[in-house]
Chains A and B, each alone.
Chain A
């Protein structure tokens, strides 16, 4: 399974309004690595994440996921490989009930009903939201929505898990469950976060973003100990 790598090859992205949110980003994340992406507000973290499963297409350069370049034709395969949890759970939950929402991905994957049921239960239990199964998504609290949003992606059993600020809004217990979940996930995991403690605990490697480019990329303990780097990236 060594082919589940993520590779950005001199990727730049300009939003339709002309704002250059990614500027010559190159990185390689190999199979099974857990990587934290940190950086100030507006540094381009979310933009980077949206490139990982082709929701945004690089204006320059190329993104390759496990030997498959991200192009319009490969999108269905890319999206089964890469599970993306959005920064705002309100954008991620759109079905009438929690169970419907968690089942949405597996049904699109054309899995048989029994397998869909199994995955829905598995994913909801993994985030500790099984009790919410039949509740409508819009009635949940911020943190509950967050947990369910993570479950909607876990149910697709992706090979690469990409999460945009997964720990925001979670209470300490839910945060601990999330951390255990990420720890147990033995595939590639890429997390953007402002929770430096979570990064230090879970991710051996960290990428620091600043103004759309990569300011540093290395072992988490080293980077978090570098005061001048963190200050330059407005993280201190």
Chain B
């Protein structure tokens, strides 16, 4: 598998999981969306250098993926794809903040590094929570739930289109890459000019492809509102799930387990 095919596989796997029928899958998309947003808010509400507090929140993605019958391993691997982008956000902290935070033997860890790790961890956890949401619900239903919660159709349809466009882009890239390799006679290095042509072609092809898919949608009566059946019903299970999660997040936040850990590990 090439890198592109690998990425496509990871993306398709997300949709594959969404077809499951676990406890988590059966919950109302709205409940799961709210819980995910609450979780991300909790993760982001911790102080930047409170590493241990955030660590304690790590338990939730593991727990929720188990409830959803998803291997946490797969979620973790997928979230690694965005790690470079998250790392970019925090990359300057270690450079600017060189105050020592803790020492382990001869190694001194600065506040900056602690913040950097904390940013990466927060990002990963937020992404993992979102992945679990998508893998147990499916992108369509999330959008439909958002729509029912009052988000304008323009946004939800946009979201759907972006999701759809991503897989079209990857598919075109994979088939171009395949064609390139099959006629490349083992050539590995291409000039920047050729790469320019490849990327230009890729964009033109995806736009044309997306145009044809849009035509197919129009010809089946698509009028700007995503068609999905409204079998959404809020049940007692959803209320319980929502309250339990909200309470758990609140406890994790307020009890501030980090205190305890801080005393043990930090100076």
Distance between Cα atoms of A134 and B21 in the complex (Å) = 12
Known interface pairs A108-B227, A113-B231; A79-B220 also in contact (CB < 8 Å): yes
CB of B15 within 8 A of CB of A136, answer yes
CB neighbours of A103 from chain B (8 A): 227, 229
CB of B218 within 8 A of CB of A55, answer yes
CB of B19 within 8 A of CB of A91, answer no
Known interface pairs A95-B140, A104-B227; A136-B12 also in contact (CB < 8 Å): yes
Identify the closest chain B residue to A50 (Cβ). Answer: B215
Chain A nearest Cβ from B110, distance in angstroms: 46
- Dominant SS at the B interface? helix
Asked if A26 is at the interface (CB within 8 A of a chain B CB), the reply is no
Chain B nearest Cβ from A38, distance in angstroms: 23
Asked if B228 is at the interface (CB within 8 A of a chain A CB), the reply is yes
Chain B nearest Cβ from A188, distance in angstroms: 16
Interface size class of A (residues with CB under 8 A): 20 to 34
Asked if B253 is at the interface (CB within 8 A of a chain A CB), the reply is no
CB of A91 within 8 A of CB of B213, answer yes
Identify the closest chain A residue to B11 (Cβ). Answer: A138
Interface size class of B (residues with CB under 8 A): 20 to 34
Distance between Cα atoms of A88 and B211 in the complex (Å) = 13
Interface string of B126-140 (1 = CB under 8 A from A): 000000000000111
CB of B229 within 8 A of CB of A84, answer no
Question: Which residues of chain A in 64-104 are interfacial with respect to chain B, using CB atoms and an 8 Å cutoff?
Answer: 75-76, 79-80, 83-84, 86, 88, 90-92, 94-97, 100, 103-104
Distance between Cα atoms of A217 and B229 in the complex (Å) = 44
CB of B217 within 8 A of CB of A107, answer no
- Seed contacts A79-B220, A92-B216; 17 additional CB < 8 Å A-B pairs: A50-B215, A79-B221, A86-B216, A91-B215, A94-B213, A96-B18, A100-B140, A104-B217, A104-B220, A108-B221, A108-B222, A116-B229, A138-B12, A138-B167, A138-B171, A152-B220, A156-B221
A selection of 15 A-B contacts at a CB cut-off of 8 Å is A79-B221, A80-B221, A90-B171, A91-B209, A91-B215, A91-B216, A92-B216, A96-B19, A97-B19, A103-B229, A104-B217, A105-B220, A105-B221, A108-B227, A156-B220
